[in-house]
Amino acid sequence: MFKRRKQQMVYCDECGGRFKLRPQVEKIKDDIERVHFVCKHCKHDYTAYYTNNYIKQKQKEIREVGMRDIKKRMEIEKEIKAEMNNLRRKYE
């Protein structure tokens, strides 16, 4: 028996096909990046989320906080979510 590397399988909303989730990063402009993945069957392009330096900084803060301070952690997560929504509105 050999172990297979676990990879998330998802179903495509457009064609119903099943494919491996392989996120790719596309540069939008300046520090803004779009993380997305493409259905291998119908080539439909799904946006996972947008990110920028601000969000990366916040994600770093979350790693530093860890599980020591849940309240702080939730605050930062809220800030990340708000910024991701902003970017999505702007660039989608």
Q: How far is the CB of 22 from Zn ion (least distance, A)?
A: 14
Choose one: 8-16, 20-28, 63-71, 84-92; the region binding Zn ion (CB under 5 A).
8-16
Q: Are 18 and 9 within 8 A, CB to CB? A: yes
Could you say whether residue 15 binds Zn ion (CB under 5 A)?
yes
What gap in Å lies between CA 2 and CA 60, rounded to an integer?
35
Q: Does 10 bind Zn ion (CB under 5 A)?
A: no
DSSP string of 11-39?
A: E-TTT--EEE---EEEEEETTEEEEEEE-
Alpha carbons 49 and 25: distance in angstroms, whole number: 10
Applying CB under 5 A, which of residues 33, 34, 39, 50 lies at the interface with Zn ion? 39
Give the residue, chosen from 10, 11, 14, 70, that forms a contact with Zn ion under the rule CB under 5 A: 14
Shortest Cβ distance from residue 10 to Zn ion (Å)? 10
